[in-house]
Amino acid sequence: MDQKLLLLINHDWTNPALDRFMAVMSSLDFWIPFFAVAILAVAIRAGFRGRAFLLVAGLCLAINDGVVANSLKHAVHRLRPHEALSGIRHIDLAHVNPRILALGKPLKIAISTSVPDTGQGRSFPSGHVIDTVTIATVVLLFYPRFGWISFLVPMIVGYSRVYVGSHWPSDVIASLLLGTATTILFVRLLNLVWRRYGDRILHRIHAAHPSLLAST
């Protein structure tokens, strides 16, 4: 089932315009300038809750990407589709800096010819999905009224990772669930620490904001 769905997404449900869109959505480097602007805007204009959001999101990203995802990649050692199967379309933006300039250049599209059991085996979990669903979950917990919209990003990014031949569908589904669960746990723990010990460190700020989250 995993391979059948992969082939449908990677081979059958494709067209040139979608190739480029999915390559863009699959490239975190492309979005770095936009992330930087968004972070700066939140830090300057969003007050305590916005700055707390940035701090919590940064800590959750560091744990989920650097510890959880990295440890599982080395432990599971699952080959990527383009490493495990021949005939997989592997799509990427042109390698230029800054990456946004790749929009005006041809895509890099290769058809895999790899022999099974070769490669680095870093398919599970998907770091792209873990990272984006971590941010989406923190957004939801801090801003529950509209935060659910942010989950569109990890879902599109996850689909794009299958589309470009870098991950199996099961990698994406498991990464969405894993990233959401660990982020909820980490945010709740961080909020508990702030509620219990924040008064000792930042008394005036804690008095005005006894909880990091709007709903607690």
Domains of the chain: which residue ranges? 2-208
23 pLDDT above the threshold of 80: yes
Distance CA 12, CA 25 (A): 19
Give me the mean pLDDT over the 172-185 stretch: 98
Mean confidence (pLDDT) of the chain: 91
Strands 108-111 and 89-92 come out as antiparallel
CB 172 within 8 A of CB 158: yes
pTM: 0.91
Return the CATH number of 2-208, one of 3.30.70, 2.60.40, 1.20.144, 1.10.3470: 1.20.144
Q: What is the greatest pairwise CA distance in the chain?
A: 62
- CA distances to 36, 40, 50, 121, 153 from 100, in Å: 14, 19, 27, 28, 18
142 pLDDT above the threshold of 80: yes
Q: How many CA atoms lie within 13 A of 18 on its CB side?
A: 14
